[in-house]
Amino acid sequence: MITLKEQIPLAPFTTLGVGGPARYFAEARSLDELREALKTARERGLPWYLLGGGSNLMISDRGLPGLVVRMLCDAVQRLPDGVRAEAGADLTALVHQAADWGLAGLEPLAGIPGSLGGAVRGNAGAYGGSIGEVCAEVTVLDARSLELASFPAEECRFSYRSSRFKADAGLIVVAARLRLQTAAAEEIREQVAATLARRAARHLACSGSAGSFFMNPLVHDRALLERFEREQQVRSREGRIPAGWLIDQAGLRSLRVGAAQVSPRHANYLVNTGGASAREMLELARLVKARVKAATGVELMEEVSRLGFAPDELEG
Ligand SMILES: Cc1cc2nc3c(=O)[nH]c(=O)nc-3n(C[C@H](O)[C@H](O)[C@H](O)COP(=O)(O)OP(=O)(O)OC[C@H]3O[C@@H](n4cnc5c(N)ncnc54)[C@H](O)[C@@H]3O)c2cc1C
């Protein structure tokens, strides 16, 4: 049975660390508890919000006026050709577990914070790999009918940082079956360690950021694409340019609005340097978008999920 708590501060549940309280807050440790929470929200006429690891979330200073449900179902099971894991499983712990079981395929994802459910929804990825590439099947709870449904990979509409579960907020990811290859555990562990070392070399701390704030945009300006490739000595991936490079072109590294700052280490990380408000983060994001547009003609779009803001606050 769930316990409904009231006025729970949400900032500590997010890596960015901004935002006000949840009117109601509950933790779901089983599918039944998730259903119970959704029923409670429906009976009380409350909006509901889902919280995974909180590593890709910005919550408004006003907080959230409904019921926040924190997904804590995290069972992981070994299958002959991979793993089945519940949505609340920590992604990096899952990468380590798969390595210990001699199952390869998740190594590029080591070190991405957050839950499996959040990763599946946003098709999280790094170093050329993404979770969608190894998902064989995703099970969801449809919040409207409270029925379970399963989607094979080809129906999940995985694309760059997106999926059908991101497009339809009524679909709550409850579990995923990942298809992995058997290999020597020692070799997989080495790959995992290499990924973690590569991330550590960039000195990007989890606390005070939500990872990449903007998605890497598709760029149609050939001259800009060529300039990026010439300068960086890399090919652009699928016509996308890293948002951080564009932000640097606009000279915005270290730009501040109050305690919100464009990270001096990584221009696509907008960081809370201590005590920032969501309003400051939002204002900084607005400024970055406007200046990148003016300098390069490219429109940036947020990767970070923003909850509890009025539509007009999110414009611009
Ligand atoms: C330091 C740092 C580095 C990062 N590096 C990367 C990286 O390399 N690559 C990358 O892709 N991302 C990266 N991120 C972003 C983040 O880790 C991923 O987006 C992660 O997958 C988010 O998962 P989460 O559980 O924390 O989601 P949350 O932040 O809790 O939620 C994000 C959104 O997903 C929804 N959601 C959460 N769980 C579910 C579910 N079960 N079903 C449906 N919707 C759900 C929430 O309602 C919210 O809208 C980084 C973040 C940080 C802080």
Half-sphere exposure (Cβ direction) of 178: Cα atoms closer than 13 Å: 32
What pLDDT does 6 receive? 98
Write the residue with the smallest CA distance to atom 2 of ligand 1.
211
Q: Which run of H or of E encompasses 307?
A: strand 305-307
Higher pLDDT, 251 or 206: 251
What are the φ and ψ backbone dihedral angles of 172, each rounded to 5 degrees?
Answer: -95, 120
Tens-place pLDDT, residues 45-72: 999 999 999 999 999 999 999 999 999 9
Could you tell me if the CB of 141 is within 6 A of ligand 1?
no
pLDDT higher than threshold 90 for residue 24: yes
What pLDDT does 207 receive? 75
Best mutation site among 55, 171, 198, 216 for ligand 1, i.e. most ligand atoms within 8 A of its Cβ? Answer: 55
* Amino acid sitting at position 194: A
Give the dihedral of Cα atoms 36, 38, 41, 43; nearest 10 deg: -70
Band of residue 201 on the pLDDT scale cut at 50, 70, 90: confident
User: What percent of the chain shows pLDDT beyond 70?
Assistant: 99
How many Cβ atoms from other residues are within 10 Å of residue 4's Cβ? 12
Query: Would residue 161 show up in a list of annotated catalytic residues for this protein?
Result: yes
Three-state SS annotation for 55-76: CCEEECCCCEEEEEEEECCCCE
25: left (phi over 0), alpha (psi -120 to 50) or beta: beta
Tens-place pLDDT, residues 82-130: 999 999 999 999 999 999 999 999 999 999 999 999 999 999 999 989 9
Cut 0.95: pTM above it: yes
Q: How, if at all, do strands 21-28 and 103-104 pair?
A: unpaired
Q: In whole numbers, what is the pLDDT of the chain averaged over residues?
A: 96
What pLDDT does 316 receive? 62
Q: How far apart are CA 53 and CA 29, in angstroms?
A: 14
The mean per-residue pLDDT over the stretch 188-210 comes to: 89
Distance 298 CA to ligand 1 centre (A): 25
pLDDT higher than threshold 80 for residue 203: no
Q: How, if at all, do strands 48-51 and 64-71 pair?
A: parallel
Q: Which run of H or of E encompasses 283?
A: helix 278-296
What are the structure tokens assigned to 39, written together? 């029923």
User: What percent of the chain shows pLDDT beyond 90?
Assistant: 93
Could you tell me if the CB of 25 is within 6 A of ligand 1?
no
Minimum-distance ligand 1 atom for the alpha carbon of 174 = 41
| Radius of gyration of the chain, Cα coordinates, nearest whole angstrom | 20
Could you tell me if the CB of 56 is within 6 A of ligand 1?
yes
Give Cα separations from 93 to 108, 138, 205, 236, 302 (angstroms): 13, 19, 18, 31, 27
pLDDT higher than threshold 90 for residue 205: no
The mean per-residue pLDDT over the stretch 257-265 comes to: 96
How many Cβ atoms from other residues are within 10 Å of residue 142's Cβ? 14
Are 162 and 122 in contact by the 8 Å Cβ rule? The answer is yes
Q: How far apart are CA 64 and CA 58, in angstroms?
A: 11
Tens-place pLDDT, residues 133-171: 999 999 999 999 999 999 999 999 999 999 999 999 999
pLDDT higher than threshold 90 for residue 188: yes
